A and B are shown apart, each in its own frame.
Chain A
Amino acid sequence: MDLHFGDSKPTDEERAAVDGLLGPPESSWEGADRSDADLRWARGGREARDRRDLLLPGLHAINDRIGWISEGALDYLCRRLTVPPAEAYGVATFYAMFSLKPRPATVLHVCTDLACAAAGAPELCAGVEERLGLGSGVSVERSPCLGLCERAPAALAIKAGDPVRTAVSAPATVQDAVLAASSPDSAPEEPPAALAVPQAGQDGLMLLHRVGAVDPSSLDDYRAHGGYTALRRAFELGPAGVIREVTDSGLVGRGGAAFPTGRKWQATASQPDRPHYLVCNADESEPGTFKDRVLMEGDPYALVEAMTIAGYATGAHRGYLYLRGEYPRALRLLEHAVGQARARGLLGDDVLGQGYAFDIEIRRGAGAYICGEETALFNSIEGYRGEPRSKPPFPVEKGLFGKPTVENNVETLVNVLPVLTMGAPAYAKIGTGRSTGPKLFCVSGSVQRPGVYEVPFGATLGDVLTLAGVRDGLRAVLLGGAAGGFVRADELDIPLTFEGTREAGTTLGSGLVMAFDDSVPLPRLLLRIAEFFRDESCGQCVPCRVGTVRQEEALHRIVERTGADAAGDIALLREVGRAMRDASICGLGQTAWNAVESAIDRLGAYE
């Protein structure tokens, strides 16, 4: 491609960061010194253009090393990958974790989202910003949910360098957060993932039973705890047999849409177009959700095994694990787990000696809630802006790289292990008729023991809140996250199943239960939700791009109003909300008004 580059040149550091990912350039056209051979014969074309999917890893490499992405660095990356700089700029500016302007090497992300806001994030922010002003070498950025709600308020420090260093401070004090930012290496170790599982060690857990029991870095320990039995079983069953088991188990997707997993696998497996891809959606970004993080940090090999099984069943030889960019510990553990599995022949050309080739590539998100939408996630992996695609065609037909793709979230995949080890009939007996198996809930907010809880489908909201020790003065519960809905304190008998929540006029979403007591002013909470959607809208379609702004403006106007004073704006919100729900391209815009609507209708927020 005849790309245009500016005059800016990369620094040696920036060049090294890119070359560290891509290897040294092969010709002067890619950025090496000019040689006689280059000036007689140049290769390019399709192969050169086919490396676009390395753009996001390349941006990460630069950002990790330098802390921001300069013109020279972006140009060099573009030259190496044959990507137009304008497009790369469009991609880089899409993600909140990247900066195209100079900034200090260390960024402290302070969560200001729902759970943390209720736990004192505003004071934390103010304190931290006071201590880490200009010249401190740290840039403080207010962040949407960091997925550390069980330890709210939370802060994440990222210090660019070789290698990049990270430190989590949660629950954070100003002192701790400042220490984490100024010296991530000497910050105290994060507590183990098991601490987020109050039930850890209890009998009967199917998804969380290894969390806290196994060493998450040890493949042998994983196997000693029953690991890789399911994969062996899968090879015995054959791909069709695996799909039959999964179908018969009644397993449905845990990401929120509740689509039957077996049907999705079958639809992908039967596509004649090749290759097939498996994508694990680990871009857990719904405010208040952290169960996938806990699974990945506490039992990473389970996900590796489950992905291998899913790939085997659907005829995929490559799996992409798209991991939330704000999950550095999960990244480290999963990278290690994939490497170990590869070293032991559990990934690679000949998995378990069964002649099946499968490998996993981990891709990091970079701060974009929308990338949890499956097609936006494909675009993100492919090196484009993480904007959702219009469906149809559906991913099972045209997904990643335009090929048949099965996409499942972490919890869904991990459920496949008990499906295979206990068999579909036994699994299907758990839960209710239409929601089978165990379910994880992220409980946070006004509870004594926030964390991830595993209960069989069918437990009521009250059951779960009791497990977590709900505090007095419960006012409302948010189910399903920012895209979910509020229920009242007197609705605790709602069964937490897909059909039960639907019948109650609310949603299970991603399995989030956030409790709020009287101390939290509801209009402020709604405003925070509206801000979240305004910030996270990709901007592609009008209803969402402008609608989320108008929604926030209206909520801002009525933050101190009630009754007739608010009625006009509430009517406006309803009209805009209805159009967002009906006419937005993807689930983000379609659900951006849900929580607000439920607060108005169910909680009487402005009465």
Chain B
Amino acid sequence: MRKRQPKTYTRLTHPLVRDSRDEPFRQATWEEALDRAARGIQAARGAFGMFSCARATNEMNYVAQKFARVVMGTNNVDSCNRTCHAPSVAGLSAAFGSGGGTSSYEEIEHTDVIVMWGSNARFAHPIFFQHVLKGIRNGARMYAVDPRRTSTAEWAESWMGLNVGTDIPMAHAIGREIIHAGLANEAFIERATSGFEEYRALVEPWTPSLAEKVTGVPAAAIRELAHAYARAERAQLCWTLGITEHHNGTDNVRALINLSLLTGHVGRYGSGLQPLRGQNNVQGGGDMGAIPNRLPGFQDILDASVRLKFESAWDTVLQPHYGLNLTEMFEAMEDGSLRAVYCIGENPAQSEADSEQAVRRLRSLDFLVVQDIFLTKTAGLADVVLPATAGWAETDGTTTNSERRVQRVRKAVTPPGEAREDIDIICDLASRLGHDWKYADAETVWNELRSVSPDHYGMTYERLEEHQGIQWPCPSTDAIEPTYLHGRLWETDPSRRGPLAPFGLVQHDPPVDLTDDRYPIRLTTGRRLDSYNTGVQSGGYASPLRRGEFIELSPEDAERYGVVVGEHVQVTSRRGSVTAPVWVDTALRPGLAFMTMHFPDEVDTNALTIEANCPIAGTSEFKASAIRIEKLPIATIVG
């Protein structure tokens, strides 16, 4: 088969500006570019939004959110964590008051049962999966819940191929089975949770046989998982975007958390909940306050005492309400209430669901400044483009991983041309807008963050180096906390136990984009091993595994449509249409198709996906679209 070369991007080396969107970019001096950027942003004060970057350092995210809040006086700051794991943060913080995964990688090596739910970690998080494999080799039993029988699922004792978007029925049925089998951890429920009776009533209708009808998974398999999870002395529940990228992603997360509350599989060594983060600093971006509802250290903006602390530290006045999240900012572009955006290191023109709509909305802005290392499709829509550094290799700082471990990032290579570090660029813009910030280096930024975030206070650069990273919370410079969170729930003394963890009373709500006669195939999306997100970075190396974008079909569907591997077909959803070559994957069942978003310049998968958003977290339902497949050339379709 012909190997297609992905589009390769070359680094931006000079600032680019243009006077109107119809013109091509021209090279500019930093002076001019920054002046223009400052003017453009200033003109839209009150209608400004900041897209921070889940791939940049904590320090950069800290400065970026501070820029939005102090310089621009708005809480409209968010990042692409919205498109992936915001539901995890929302769900976990609703249950436990904190948005991080509760356990550590090492613990999964010493657990008894591992549930991988909506997660192909073998491809998406290969080194995390090595810890899972250690656990399996140490005797743990792994269960996989995923519509596809992925590489991850092939390692499972039992794989359950549920219908896309039926995670809540599955979880509820498991919960009901645990209760009916007398396997609920009553001591823990009594001591550490609230709302159990309501939960019991909620899940009672979800008999295994009803769940079988809705999810497609045999009742016996559901029962087996329920018993395995509940009877395990230790168990880990891990999930990825298969849970979160739904219009009710936060509800999905709550439904899974319920199972841990029911069995006491949280707050202990080896037992916990692990949302696996898609980007190097999704966790840190949120921790640093680059989200519309939290200040650095994951402190609630609505808390007056918290605001007071920051107002005095930053010598400013903070808005006492939440800002707009990424999804809401896009909606605000539509109605004109958001007119300027400062986008750092993100590519929403290709990463958002319903990408055509996203591009249209970005075009409608009065002013767009993009700060990136490449001229991405989003940068191509901008008025000013500022060449930045690759955070992980060209700057100093820290990032925070999925196990809440803050680790040092170090500068190894010199950036090309006139490219500059993100923090310096932001500070220069701030000073043009009247705020003269002086940060000698990333460590200075970090120390400022430490002074306002108790969870990070104990993490000096020196200690981060010494311990090869430290997990939060780390309130003291003398001690290291346990590797797992919420041990407090097991305390006998109610005052030390703190707030009870509420069961989430969430209802099943099937995917918005229903399949029907015209769109009979359920399209779901995910990652491949060698590629990453929109492919801007991963396209740069010559992976022998890469074969470009395909629409992957089950052998049965391929036969039904009379298409063969490599043949181009028309793929159409209610929102858009693309052509893509066919791949046949036995991991798929009839009626289920799979694509990635790694090669948007070849096949813009997000032209098909639906922007049906989680009302709590704002994440779109990337995992469930309805499509149809047509052989080329397209037959005329009437109506």
Asked if A45 is an interface residue, CB under 8 A from chain B, the answer is yes
Chain B residue nearest to A47 (CB atoms) is B157
Choose the segment among B53-61, B158-166, B468-476 that binds chain A (4+ C-beta atoms closer than 8 Å): B158-166
A-B interface contact total, Cβ < 8 Å? 59
Interface residue ranges of A45-79 to B (CB < 8 Å): 45-47
Complex Cα spacing A187 to B145, Å: 60
Known: A1-B155, A2-B122, A46-B141. A41 touches B556 (CB 8 A): no
Residues of A within 8 A of B153 (CB): 42
Q: B580-592 vs A: 1/0 string, CB under 8 Å? A: 0000001001100
Known: A34-B555, A34-B586. A40 touches B160 (CB 8 A): yes
Chain A residue nearest to B123 (CB atoms) is A2
- The reply to whether B218 and A41 form a contact with Cβ atoms under 8 Å apart is yes
Known: A2-B122, A2-B151, A34-B556. A42 touches B218 (CB 8 A): no
Residues of B within 8 A of A43 (CB): 157-158
- Chain A nearest CB from B586 CB (Å) reads 7
- The reply to whether A2 and B216 form a contact with Cβ atoms under 8 Å apart is no
Asked if B36 is an interface residue, CB under 8 A from chain A, the answer is no
Q: Which interface class (under 10, 10 to 19, 20 to 34, 35 or more) fits B?
A: 20 to 34
Indicate which residue in B122, B152, B158, B554 contacts A42 across the interface (CB closer than 8 Å): B158
- Chain A nearest CB from B505 CB (Å) reads 28
- The reply to whether B142 and A39 form a contact with Cβ atoms under 8 Å apart is no
- Chain B nearest CB from A6 CB (Å) reads 14
- Chain B nearest CB from A51 CB (Å) reads 15
Residues of A within 8 A of B590 (CB): 39
Complex Cα spacing A44 to B217, Å: 16
- The reply to whether A44 and B154 form a contact with Cβ atoms under 8 Å apart is yes
Asked if A546 is an interface residue, CB under 8 A from chain B, the answer is no
Chain B residue nearest to A36 (CB atoms) is B589
Complex Cα spacing A43 to B159, Å: 6
Asked if A564 is an interface residue, CB under 8 A from chain B, the answer is no
Residues of B within 8 A of A39 (CB): 149, 161, 554, 589-590
Chain A residue nearest to B555 (CB atoms) is A34
- The reply to whether B158 and A41 form a contact with Cβ atoms under 8 Å apart is yes
Residues of A within 8 A of B157 (CB): 43-47
Asked if B452 is an interface residue, CB under 8 A from chain A, the answer is no
- The reply to whether A2 and B154 form a contact with Cβ atoms under 8 Å apart is yes
- Chain A nearest CB from B164 CB (Å) reads 13
- The reply to whether B589 and A44 form a contact with Cβ atoms under 8 Å apart is no
Residues of B within 8 A of A343 (CB): none
Interface residue ranges of A26-43 to B (CB < 8 Å): 28-29, 34, 36-37, 39-43
Indicate which residue in A34, A40, A45 contacts B161 across the interface (CB closer than 8 Å): A40
Q: What's the tally of chain A residues with a CB closer than 8 Å to chain B?
A: 17
Residues of B within 8 A of A40 (CB): 160-161, 216-218, 221, 589
Chain B residue nearest to A3 (CB atoms) is B154
- Chain B nearest CB from A487 CB (Å) reads 51
Q: A497-537 vs B: 1/0 string, CB under 8 Å? A: 00000000000000000000000000000000000000000
Residues of B within 8 A of A34 (CB): 555-556, 586
- The reply to whether B160 and A41 form a contact with Cβ atoms under 8 Å apart is yes
Complex Cα spacing A377 to B475, Å: 57
Q: B201-231 vs A: 1/0 string, CB under 8 Å? A: 0000000000000001110110000000000
Complex Cα spacing A86 to B154, Å: 18
- Chain A nearest CB from B321 CB (Å) reads 47
Complex Cα spacing A577 to B154, Å: 49
Asked if B156 is an interface residue, CB under 8 A from chain A, the answer is yes
Complex Cα spacing A39 to B159, Å: 9
Residues of A within 8 A of B161 (CB): 39-42
Interface residue ranges of A17-31 to B (CB < 8 Å): 28-29
Residues of A within 8 A of B554 (CB): 39
Known: A2-B155, A34-B556. A41 touches B586 (CB 8 A): no
Complex Cα spacing A39 to B149, Å: 8
- The reply to whether B217 and A45 form a contact with Cβ atoms under 8 Å apart is no
Complex Cα spacing A42 to B157, Å: 8
- Chain B nearest CB from A543 CB (Å) reads 31
Indicate which residue in B152, B155, B160, B218 contacts A45 across the interface (CB closer than 8 Å): B155
- Chain A nearest CB from B146 CB (Å) reads 11
Residues of A within 8 A of B216 (CB): 40
Complex Cα spacing A512 to B604, Å: 76
Indicate which residue in A1, A29, A41, A47 contacts B217 across the interface (CB closer than 8 Å): A41
Residues of A within 8 A of B142 (CB): 45
Residues of B within 8 A of A1 (CB): 154-155
Residues of B within 8 A of A3 (CB): 154
Known: A34-B556, A34-B586, A37-B218. A44 touches B159 (CB 8 A): yes
B154, B160, B161, B220 — most chain A CB neighbours (10 Å): B154
Residues of A within 8 A of B160 (CB): 40-41
- Chain B nearest CB from A293 CB (Å) reads 41
Indicate which residue in A36, A37, A44 contacts B156 across the interface (CB closer than 8 Å): A44
Complex Cα spacing A34 to B160, Å: 16
Residues of A within 8 A of B220 (CB): 41
Residues of A within 8 A of B556 (CB): 34
Chain B residue nearest to A48 (CB atoms) is B157
- The reply to whether A42 and B149 form a contact with Cβ atoms under 8 Å apart is yes
Complex Cα spacing A2 to B586, Å: 13
Chain A residue nearest to B159 (CB atoms) is A42
- Chain A nearest CB from B292 CB (Å) reads 40
Interface residue ranges of B264-322 to A (CB < 8 Å): none
- Chain A nearest CB from B22 CB (Å) reads 50
- Chain B nearest CB from A91 CB (Å) reads 20
- The reply to whether A41 and B159 form a contact with Cβ atoms under 8 Å apart is yes
- Chain B nearest CB from A217 CB (Å) reads 45
Chain B residue nearest to A82 (CB atoms) is B154
- Chain A nearest CB from B223 CB (Å) reads 12
Q: B118-149 vs A: 1/0 string, CB under 8 Å? A: 00001000000000000010000110000001
Chain A residue nearest to B589 (CB atoms) is A39
- Chain B nearest CB from A382 CB (Å) reads 16
Complex Cα spacing A3 to B153, Å: 12
Complex Cα spacing A29 to B161, Å: 14
Residues of A within 8 A of B155 (CB): 1-2, 44-45
- Chain A nearest CB from B566 CB (Å) reads 14
Complex Cα spacing A350 to B157, Å: 33
Residues of B within 8 A of A45 (CB): 136, 141-142, 155-158
Complex Cα spacing A80 to B313, Å: 65
Residues of B within 8 A of A37 (CB): 218
Complex Cα spacing A45 to B152, Å: 11
Complex Cα spacing A37 to B218, Å: 8
A1, A39, A47 — most chain B CB neighbours (10 Å): A39
Complex Cα spacing A41 to B216, Å: 9
- Chain A nearest CB from B166 CB (Å) reads 12
Complex Cα spacing A39 to B147, Å: 9
Complex Cα spacing A39 to B587, Å: 8
Complex Cα spacing A213 to B136, Å: 55
Complex Cα spacing A329 to B228, Å: 49
Complex Cα spacing A39 to B163, Å: 11
Residues of A within 8 A of B136 (CB): 45
Complex Cα spacing A45 to B143, Å: 9
Given A40-B221, A40-B589, A42-B156, 15 more A-B residue pairs with CB atoms under 8 Å apart are A1-B154, A2-B154, A3-B154, A34-B555, A39-B554, A40-B161, A40-B217, A41-B159, A41-B220, A41-B221, A42-B149, A44-B156, A45-B157, A46-B141, A47-B157
Q: List the interface of chain B (C-beta within 8 A of A).
A: 122, 136, 141-142, 149, 151-161, 216-218, 220-221, 554-556, 586, 589-590
Q: List the interface of chain A (C-beta within 8 A of B).
A: 1-3, 28-29, 34, 36-37, 39-47
Q: Which 3 A-B pairs have the closest CB atoms?
A: A45-B157, A2-B151, A39-B589
30 contacts between A and B (CB under 8 A): A1-B154, A1-B155, A2-B122, A2-B152, A2-B154, A2-B155, A34-B555, A34-B556, A39-B161, A39-B554, A40-B160, A40-B161, A40-B216, A40-B217, A40-B589, A41-B159, A41-B217, A41-B220, A42-B158, A42-B161, A43-B157, A44-B156, A44-B158, A45-B136, A45-B141, A45-B142, A45-B155, A45-B156, A45-B158, A46-B141
